[in-house]
Structure 1
Amino acid sequence: MRSATRKEEALWLLERLVPGSGVNNLHLAFRVSGEPDLALLDRTLSVLVRRHPALRTVFRAGETGLSKEVREDLPVAFEDRECPADEADARLAAFVAEPFELDGGALLRALRLRSPGQDVCCVVVHHLNFDTVSAGVLHEEFVAVYNAFAAGDVVPAELEGIAVTLDEVEPKPESLAFWRDQLRDVRPDELELSCGKPDVAEPNLAGSQVTWSFSAETVQVVKELQKALRAPEAVVLLAAYYLLLNAHGAGPDLVVGSPMNVRGRETARAVGYHVNVTPLRLRVDPAEDFRGLVRRVRDVFFGALTHLDVPVDNLLAEIPRTGSSWRHTVFRHVFNYIPETGTPSFRLGGLPAEPLAAEPGFSKFDLEFFLLPTADGIRVRAAYYTEVLREADVQAFVRRYEALLLSLAEDLDRPVGDVRVFSAEDEAVIGKANRTGKPVAWPSVPSAIAAVVEARPEAIAVEDGDREVTYRQLWDTAAATCERLLDAGVEPGEVVALIAPRSAELAAAALGVWLAGATYLPLDPDHPDQRIAYQLADSGAKVALAEAALPAEAGCRALTPTPIGSVPSRATPTLPGTGAPAYLIYTSGSTGRPKGTVVGHPALVNLISHFADELGHHGQAGTLWLTTFSFDISALELFLPLATGGRLVVAPDEARIDGGVLKGLLGRHDVSTLQATPTTWRLVVDEVAGELAGRTVLCGGEPLPSALARQLVDTGCELWNVYGPTETTIWSAAGRVHDGATGRITAGGPIGNTTVFLADPDGRELPVGVTGELCIAGAGLAVGYHDRPELTGARFATHARHGRFYRTGDLARWLEDGTLELLGRADRQVKLRGNRIELAEIESVLQAHDEVAGAAVVVAGDPSDDAVLVAYVEADEKTGLVDRLWEHAGALLPKSAMPQEFVVIDRIPLTGNDKVDYPELARRAADRAASRATEPEEEQELDPLTADVVALFRELLDRGDIRPGTNFFSHGGHSLLAAKLAQRVKHLTGVRVRLTDVFAQPTPAALADFVLASTADEN
């Protein structure tokens, strides 16, 4: 036997990933109306197996690799089975999927399924010996030989003897140089699409397919593009495929696999594995027009045709592996152009027959487009990997592909970055979600409150502990505050700081600032003096209404808030216009330095008006004022009840962390609506659950975990998940969470007079199902976001549709029902060792554990080098808790997303806005790592098995710097070496180690532990 080629070894390695599967099986099948002669079928097959040496080639997998030989004789025959007609397709698919063993036996088998009135005949051949060109040749020869035998003739003269064969030669040096240049610095980890699911650690390569036929209009457009661009149809369609992938998040440096036949003119009918999947690399430039793109695609395509003698598998060892993923190829997406093969219906021994294709059930690539042009049109068969893409994703792909071709033809000189890759279905779903125009109930919030004062002055406006404050008392106090501010020299549009606990006086002070035509700045009296002083100075606040003394460096005049009931009733003051901003609020920016956001009255009144209508807030509805006043969501709690004639119920700070306090408060007051962050709800929900039935509960400010959502819904409340950044006025989207909600909880759709879109990093708008940065436009934009610099290119096109917009930094995607699925912060999605990891997903899994009250995950170290995931869990320290968390997380998370360290703490630190303080946790993680780094390193004594595995690593990688924690793949390992390592470990220990086990345990210590655990399981 002789050694297999690297191209052949690559197929073997694929089977090592999914043992016991027919992932490499190809087939030839046809349906016959009637019953063909079984003896003639066997004779025909025997003739063709003798004629084509490839069909007689066998392979044997050994410890050192794969070897092959051509057998002189290989007896074959059709297996004959009866089958109900309605089961034929399923039986055929199962027969095709049965695996071959690479043990020196035949890699070909045949079957006849006999059904009433029709038979199905199928020949299955391993890809090592066969390809799609071979299938066409075998089909033609099978029909010709069978028909000759059926007519009583001998084998046709042209089919006698041994057929022409093709022995692929070693790659030429100039071809190797060409491909090395083409693939220099390639980054396969940038080919992941922004839709579907993250890759799995242990692949099954389960596949399915979607078939789509272009309309007559599209077929004509493709012909016109081919003519106008003077390029082959395959090149035009390939260029559009690059754009399609790029519009879904891959690239812009793209590598697409394209199967190309390496047969020459004299060997055109050679049967065997004579196809190379060439890596066609091209960078998409959004500023380039489609003409230029097609020219470059043509150059790439024809450049590959002149260097087909190099299988890409010969170059994989030279391409850096990113992480320990099972993938090691330079492409994840394939383009396959297959013109009409000329095998329509035919006759077999006089019986009508037609070709038949079984559903393969496997996909080696995330997405493979088969373009199938015929005389009647163009079909697209899209095969896909079901662990990564859903059927709905792929159906959307092919619809957008056709829409893209139609759009490109409209203007060949338009930059490709400006082309909108939307199908009609995308336009309908997103267009409907963004039709949010609705009237606003009042000119301003003060005017709404004034109308309540006039209509029902003695109605209760605020319940503050044991006090009940009427609307008249609230208004009179606000009017007195207004007069005091004017006397203090406050001019319209100037800033007045409010530094006091939540109370009826604080509510009146905020309203009084507005009556003075000023803008209020809410500050937390519990914040450090330095922070308060900075915000006062930065905002230019002229006056501060504060209960306590201001910091010495505050630099502004201090007044105490006007007490309720301390002033006589007075005439209603003139309402100010809405030209001055409503409030100025500070949040922590990405650098940690506070940044101010100014919100105008029209934006605030739009928000209040929307939720008043959405939640049915009219009359005496009670709303809990629970949130820290310096957090912008507090403004909704404050002004929603006052603008609608309801009651504002003031909650003490303890109610945010003590469920007993909140429960007592709800028991004493008639509260219909209450709002808090997920962090607060996790702290209080167990104790307060019995008081929530029938109430409206808003949850926002952080992602809402599905487990917490179910817990809240089970209380009988009406739960709303709300979303919005400070810069777009509190909430921009809202959705009701219903009973039975599972998985991620959506944020619903945009609120009134608000539009939402998703954008890629270049500002291009994204269709349904594709993850991008959430952008918000419309009435809620804070002051200043209406006056951004002029935009260009794709961003300008988006601006033309939506007006000015704010890029939130949050990741999301549209779902098919027009709701928004939030996917965490863009800055909380990390890449470690080539794997994309969403930290919020890890937290959600940990929070679902019964013993965990809260969880927060941070990255410690350099993400490009030695970074690890550290999970902080809020729980009672109990024996074995960390082990239970490891087991729980390991059952639900991919190995790439498993935290390397669990730290149990009493309480997760929070910011002043009741959100997790991630910077503080990151500092703690860094301190822990630094502390360990300064500890003296002890000489490590290895157990015998770990020492043996270290030795194997050193031998296979040819390196002397291997330690127990060395990653096999980041130190020169690749799939072939991993397969050899798995075999050597099995030979050493007797434990079966799969290729995926090496990927999952890529260090000597981890692999040794795996072997020991497997031994223990067997015992």
Structure 2
Amino acid sequence: MFLSEKERTSHHQFWHSYYSDELPVATVIPDYTNMDLAEHMTMETVDYTAEDAIFKQLGQYCKESDFLWYCFLLATLNVCLYKYTGERDRLLGSPMQGNSAQSGKLLPIHLAIDPACSFKEYVLKLREQLAAVYSHQQLAPNRMKQLHVVAAMEGLHSEIEDASDPAYIRILFNRQNDRLHIKFDYSPKRYKESTIRNLSVHYNELLQTTIFNMDRAICELSICSQTELEKIMHDFNPVIPDSRPATTLARQFEQQVFLQPDRIALVHNGRKLTYNELNKQANRLANMLRTEWNIQHNEFVAVRMGQGIEYIISILAILKAGSAYLPIDMEYPDERIHFILEDSQARFMLVQHVDDIPQGHMVSTLLVTESLSRELPMVNLDVPTKAEDLAYLLYTSGTTGQPKGVLIEQQNVLNLVQDPHYLSMDCQTVMLQATSIVFDLSTLEIWGTLLNGGTLVIVDKATLLEPKRLKETIREQHVNSMLITTALFHHLASHHSDIFSGIGQLLTGGEVLSSVLTNRILELYPDLRLVNGYGPTECTVLTTYYDIRSAESTSISIGKPISGTNVSILGVDDQIQPIGVPGELCISGVGVGRGYLHQPELMADRYVRIPGRTDQIMYRTGDLAYWREDGTIEFMGRKDRQLKLRGYRIELGEIENTLLKHDQVLEAVVVPIKNTSDELSLCAYIVPEICTDELESQLILHLRKSLPDYMIPADCIIIERIPLKTNGKVDTDRLPVPDRQQLRGQQTLILPQTPEEQKVAAIWTEILGIQQISVHHNFFELGGHSLKLIILAEELQHAGYSINTMDLYKYPTIASFLQFQHKSGQEG
């Protein structure tokens, strides 16, 4: 057809303003992603016929106009996809109207949703938009991004070519013989039949709602039927008890003392304490706290010491005295300790040695070892405490540049450890206590064991980092239960699988679990109970659990909610998502903690009232997940910029804000990256005011003053500007990939010269992925961390060196390590 220049200009102007490659395409999350998109594949079909009532109601509204029918049905589809993904703007494909010479060509339909708009208003707006698109279809863009979902109306559109990309879903509406037939064609190499069938069910549910409730706002429409809602709330979730625990942590422990006073409660470095001995020691310290220190009810008492018997005595004593304990890591930098003490307003700190007292902090300090040698009353205290009282205050990474304090009540911990069905906890339990005191998994290790009459075998960091010593401890102490981070499980399963030979039950969590490694361990030890756990600190360690009983071929579920806890998957408009549809994982029940300390805005955002049940609180995790058909939950990742790295929760914003406090930093972005081994690490991108050779090293030192080691980026890259997308967000795809051959800092590169130096450097290169390493470079500043340190120690031992992991902490350069080896050899 001939077009005048004026008509061509009009068409081009329309498409220039209407279409953009920046817009996301409408999609349904695929079940399979490892398909070859270039391969031609046949499509399979799920179809259904709408109920007569729907057809009649649509007929009254749309009359005999295929165009109006299509507008209504497409509007319903777009609202359905909006409820699936939460995206308000997207591109969907539509064939050209009529029998065009360009039959088979798809038009990009820009579908924008205003949740506050009524559905009727939206249909009218869409009708105007489609009319404009079809009037300009003759010069539609020939080259555009891939469209994954296409919708057509038989009788209105040209035929969709079978040669089109098989990755998308094709939906065909057909109105004939007083029936509305809807057909979903899909690629079986990308989607399961159940996924598409669910989509058809949710679409039909929404169609029934919209046709009879056209004046309702889009944000009020739901794709979840009442039947599915009841299944999720009553079949997938346990019943929340109306009453709360009538006891406290201290009284529950004292009950175990009464039942089995002579049973071993604690084991550490050759020392053993029975339940009776532990109780007396804790009572002695608690009496001192009450009578001499006059600590108050629910007051925070800081505890700064390593894992050990004195730490257990200290936190038990604090609870017996009616207060709450505040763990502080021995390796925290002074600035972080200062903030925690100031923010918590803690007046007292318990330490084990004089050297453990932090410098420059205005807080009264009690030496626990010295105090326990005094003659003080050892009877149980009569302190009026209740389950609603605080148990502990734990600080985690925060977006503002400072950590945030999470308040956990005693009833939260009791719900976690009383009659647990996710693990067997009783007097036969011998639990390894290996987790740092500031990692909430230690809560389950300690109280899950001591409140159920088991034995807690405590190992310090040096033992944990030496697999050989750890294995010996497990054998000698007959440990049968372990709780470890996913990262540590992956390492042990890969390199030291025999460490699990005597273990009866193992719970791991914190990151996505490898099905390959779990299958390997279960093949070796079929009687092992292996549990994948999930839970944020705000909800007391564990929210869901999944028993991995047999070989897993795909991703491993995070399971079902524990007793006393409910999970809701909420969509974009805070409505419960049906089975198979992603949303934000939200938690309610007895496991939800009291909230954040001195963070009212964050409290209001994360801890919200449950709709229709204003007396109950729900915690919004920020994690994305969906229900599986069997009632277990599939974890999908974060919806914000928080992540877990080697078990630690990290807010990237805290690192960025700390960088921005440096006077030479104009802009900063921190992103997670994966190396060639698929290992996750952090990379900081810096726009400096003035770029100097020393800047990268200065920034790392700046970070170390206020952040723990696990939050220090492995790479720091200086760039001229932060690349942005057209919507103003950071374009991470355009950030330069870290070059692991280029070392941080510009110190003089002194390459290994002697055969000994070259031998050790080769081991470093293999572990760190860096070719040129100076003999004075620090292992940790090149991206090394505790798990890589374990590997380094093992490789050096295999190479003939007498070394342990803690030695490498002291001698983190090649030069200092070899000097230490030479000195040790002379002394030997």
TM-score by length of 2: 0.72
1:705 paired with 2:510, answer no
Cα 1:247–1:408 change in 2 (3 A) is same
For 1:336 and 1:593, locate their aligned partners in 2 and report how far apart those are by CA, in whole Å: 53
Equivalences for residues 607-622 of structure 1 within 5 A: 607-609=416-418, 611=420, 613-622=421-430
Amino acid in the other structure paired with 2:185:
A
Partner of 2:312: 507
Q: 1:453 to 1:335 in 2, by over 3 A?
A: same
Structure 1 CA distance for aligned equivalents of residues 160 and 110 of structure 2 = 32
Residue matched to 1:817: 630
Q: How big is the shift at 1:741?
A: 1.6
Structure 2 counterpart of 1:466, one-letter code: G
User: Which residue number in structure 1 is paired with residue 175 of structure 2?
Assistant: 373
**2:365 paired residue number:** 558
Alignment partner, residue 519 of structure 1? 324
Q: 1:395 pairs with 180, 186, 197, which one?
A: 197
Are the aligned partners of 1:429 and 1:818 in contact in 2 as well (CA < 8 Å)? Answer: no
Q: Is the 8 A contact 2:387 2:410 kept in 1?
A: yes
Asked whether the equivalents of residues 262 and 276 of structure 1 are also in contact (C-alpha less than 8 Å), the reply is no
Asked whether the equivalents of residues 103 and 160 of structure 2 are also in contact (C-alpha less than 8 Å), the reply is no
Q: Does 1:647 align with 2:455?
A: yes
Q: Does 1:634 align with 2:442?
A: yes
Q: Secondary structure in 2 aligned to 1:768?
A: coil
Q: How does 1:615-1014 map to 2 (within 5 A)?
A: 615-685=423-493, 686-687=495-496, 689-716=498-525, 717-760=528-571, 763-784=574-595, 803-827=616-640, 862=723, 864=731, 866-870=734-738, 908-909=784-785
Work out the CA distance in 1 between the residues paired with 2:764 and 2:283. 62
Shift of 1:746: 1.3
How far, CA to CA, are the matches of 2:604 and 2:484 in structure 1?
37
- Name which of 378, 384, 397 aligns with 1:588: 397
How far the C-alpha of 1:499 sits from its partner, in A, is: 1.1
**Which of 22, 37, 52 is the matching residue for 1:187?**
22
What one-letter code is carried by the residue in structure 2 that aligns with 1:726? Answer: T
Residues 1:470 and 2:305 are matched in the alignment = no
Partner amino acid, structure 2, of 1:866: R
Q: How many Å apart are 1:720 and its aligned residue?
A: 0.8
Q: Report what 1:173 is aligned to.
A: 8
Q: Deviations over 1:172-211 (max 9, x none)?
A: 3365046325525463335444454559675325233222
Tell me what 1:214 maps to.
50
The letter of the residue matching 2:342 is A
Pair 1:714–1:428, CA change in 2 (3 A): farther
CA contact (8 A) 2:287 2:376 kept: no
Q: Which moved more, 1:811-820 or 1:800-809?
A: 800-809
Matches within 5 A, 1:69-80: none
When residues 844 and 397 of structure 1 are mapped into structure 2, their CA distance, relative to the original with a 3 A threshold, is farther
> Offset at 1:597?
0.8
SS in 1 for 2:331: coil
* C-alpha distance in 1 between matches for 2:148 and 2:444: 47
**Compared with structure 1, are the counterparts of its residues 857 and 291 closer, same or farther at alpha carbon in structure 2 (3 Å cutoff)?**
farther
Structure 1 partner of 2:110: 281
Distance 1:677 1:237, change over 3 A: same
Match of 2:237 among 430, 434, 448: 434
Task: Give yes or no for contact 1:229–1:291 (8 Å, CA) kept in 2.
Answer: no
How far apart in 1 are the matches of 2:112 and 2:121? 12
CA distance in 2, matches of 1:729, 1:533: 25
1:33-112 to structure 2, matched below 5 A, reads none
2:813 corresponds in structure 1 to: none
Deviation at 1:566, TM superposition (A): 6.0
Summarize the Cα distance change of 1:568–1:541 in structure 2 as closer, same or farther, 3 Å threshold: closer
Q: Deviations over 1:47-93 (max 9, x none)?
A: xxxxxxxxxxxxxxxxxxxxxxxxxxxxxxxxxxxxxxxxxxxxxxx
Residue 651 of structure 2 aligns with which residue? none
Contact 1:190 1:251 in 2 (8 A): no
What is the match of residue 496 of structure 1?
301
| AA in 1 matched with 2:11 | L
In the alignment, the residues of structure 2 paired with residue 815 and residue 908 of structure 1 have an alpha-carbon distance, to the nearest angstrom, of: 38
Q: Amino acid of the residue matched to residue 504 of structure 1?
A: I
1:170 CA drift (Å): 7.6
**Number of aligned residue pairs:** 677
Deviations 1:563-584 (A, max 9, x none): 7686577432225223431100
Q: Deviations over 1:629-672 (max 9, x none)?
A: 11111111111111111111111222322111111111111322
- Which residue identity lines up with residue 647 of structure 1 in the other structure? T
List aligned pairs for 1:108-123, cutoff 5 A.
none
Q: Quickly say closer, same or farther: Cα 1:880–1:374, change in 2 above 3 A.
A: farther
How far apart are residue 610 of structure 1 and its match? 5.3
Matches of 2:716 and 2:219, distance apart in 1? 34
Describe how 1:206-285 pairs up with structure 2 within 5 A: 206=41, 207-223=43-59, 226=62, 232-249=68-85, 251-263=87-99, 273-274=102-103, 277-285=106-114
Map Cα deviations across residues 502-559 of structure 1 (whole Å, 9 max, x no partner). 2222112111111111110011123233322321222111111111342232211101
Aligned residues of 1:723 and 1:732 also touching (Cα < 8 A):
yes
Aligned equivalents of 1:548 and 1:671: distance in 2?
29
**SS of match in other structure, 1:774:** strand
Letter matched to residue 555 of structure 1: M
1:232 is paired with a residue of what secondary structure? Answer: helix
Distance 2:393 2:780 in 1: 38
Deviation at 1:728, TM superposition (A): 1.4
Is 2:266 aligned against 1:450? no
Please give the root-mean-square deviation of Cα atoms over the aligned residues, in Å.
4.2
SS of alignment partner, residue 436 of structure 2: coil
Q: Per-residue CA shift, 1:73-130, capped at 9, x if unaligned?
A: xxxxxxxxxxxxxxxxxxxxxxxxxxxxxxxxxxxxxxxxxxxxxxxxxxxxxxxxxx
For residues 233-261 of structure 1, the C-alpha deviation after alignment (integer angstroms, 9 at most, x for no partner) is 22211110111121222641233222233
| Cα 1:880–1:385 shift into 2, 3 Å | farther
**1:715 CA displacement:** 4.0
| Preserved contact between residue 757 and residue 774 of structure 1 (Cα < 8 Å) | yes
- Give 1:826 deviation, angstroms: 3.7
**TM-score (norm. length: structure 1):** 0.60
Q: What percentage of aligned pairs have identical amino acids?
A: 23
CA contact (8 A) 1:667 1:691 kept: no
Which residue, 378, 383, 391 being the options, matches 2:185? Answer: 383
Deviations 1:878-924 (A, max 9, x none): 799999x99xxxxxxxxxxxxxxxx9999742599x9xxxxxxxxxx
Task: Provide the C-alpha distance between the structure 1 equivalents of 2:46 and 2:305, rounded to a whole number of angstroms.
Answer: 62
The answer to whether the 8 A contact 1:720-1:735 is kept is yes
Partner Cα separation in structure 1 for residue 617 and residue 65 of structure 2: 37
* SS of residue matched to 2:252: helix
What is the CA–CA distance in structure 2 between the aligned matches of 1:660 and 1:220, rounded to whole Å?
74
Q: Deviations over 1:941-992 (max 9, x none)?
A: xxxxxxxxxxxxxxxxxxxxxxxxxxxxxxxxxxxxxxxxxxxxxxxxxxxx
Describe the SS at the equivalent of 2:391: strand
> Cα distance 1:202–1:556, how it changes in 2: closer, same or farther (>3 A)?
same
* Structure label with greater radius of gyration: 1
Structure 1 residues 304 and 273: CA distance shift in structure 2, 3 A: closer
Q: Structure 1 regions of 5+ residues with no counterpart?
A: 1-166, 264-269, 317-327, 342-356, 831-837, 848-855, 887-902, 915-1019
The 8 Å contact of residues 663 and 688 in structure 1, kept in 2 or not, is answered as no
